[in-house]
Amino acid sequence: MNESTNPQTTLITGSSSGIGLHLATEFAKHGHPLVLVAPDRNELETVAMDLGSTYSVDVTAIAADLREEAAAQSVFDQLGGRQIEILVNNAGHGKKGNAWEIPLEDDISMVALNIVAILRLTKLFLPPMVTRRSGRILNTASVAGFEPGPGYAVYSSTKAFVLSYSEGLATELKDSGVTVTALCPGPTDTDFFPKAGMLETRAFQQAGLMAPQDVAEAGYKALMAGDRVIVPGFSNKAMVFLRRLIPESLQAKLNELLTDDVPPDQQKRDRGVREAKE
């Protein structure tokens, strides 16, 4: 359903699955023309076709692996000067394991996608927004960005960067007509968990798992309201607030417990349960 009389064209990365897919759906519901970016062309084009036909919006699909050095510039060039009013830097991935055991190439891959790609895309799309004195940026961070992340130290560090970078930009852009919002979800029922090797962990099996639809809706509302930071879900808000009250060493220990595997007979959740219910 088109709800906006002047919908802003929105570019969303990592938009073929997970939170990114549901962000794309949320923006489509509100009538935004979309530019969707993800590495798998077939998967991406299927999503683009579905959203376009369901919500009667214009959807452009650009297949790109944003870890590659030239990918962001290629995306920008393929648009041929098309104006992007909203940039959603959502693409990212993680990896569970001890820092000394995870292959270096996996760490570099996380940094390239979770940090460098955001920098490159923002450097390309933000200046025109500043010139127009109009635009919005939504960066997907995480509650992991607020605190130490034993068992996923590099991933947590990349999200700390995204959060800090977003808040810094938001301050620099005050009164510019451009807003920046950091979306900080907690455990969410997406393909992040199987890809990161974390389906058996407490974070997936026992934490307050959110449906990605709810995360996307909260992110969209916060972005359009011009909020700087949004932490969806009461338990996630409580987790972030708790950081102010307890020593960092204790918070790190609590986070470490979330990466512990749950015994097989206590694993009751399957991927997609929360997503399917919504």
CA dihedral 142, 148, 150, 154 (to 10 degrees): 60
pLDDT confidence of residue 136:
98
Rg (CA), the chain: 18
Model confidence at 112, pLDDT cuts 50, 70, 90, reads very high
Q: Is the pTM of this model over 0.85?
A: yes
pLDDT confidence of residue 6:
72
Q: Burial-class residue 79 by CB neighbours within 10 Å (0-12, 13-18, 19+).
A: middle
Model confidence at 236, pLDDT cuts 50, 70, 90, reads confident
Mean pLDDT of 100-115: 97
Percentage of the chain beyond pLDDT 70 is: 81
Query: Mind listing the domains of the chain with CATH numbers?
Result: 10-277 (3.40.50.720)
Q: N- to C-terminal Cα distance for the chain?
A: 18
Q: Is the pLDDT of residue 147 over 90?
A: no
CA dihedral 152, 156, 158, 159 (to 10 degrees): 140
Q: Is the pLDDT of residue 240 over 70?
A: yes
Q: Is the pLDDT of residue 276 over 60?
A: no
Selected residue with higher pLDDT from 214 and 199: 214
What CA–CA distances, in Å, run from 1 to 7, 51, 131, 222, 224?
12, 11, 31, 20, 17
Nearest to 39 by CA among 92, 78, 87: 92
Q: Give alpha helix (H) positions in the chain.
A: 18-29, 41-55, 71-78, 104-111, 117-132, 153-172, 192-196, 202-205, 212-225, 234-242, 248-258, 273-277
Q: Burial-class residue 173 by CB neighbours within 10 Å (0-12, 13-18, 19+).
A: middle
Selected residue with higher pLDDT from 121 and 257: 121
Query: What residues act catalytically?
Result: 155
* Spatial separation of the C-alpha atoms in residues 229 and 138, rounded to whole Å: 10
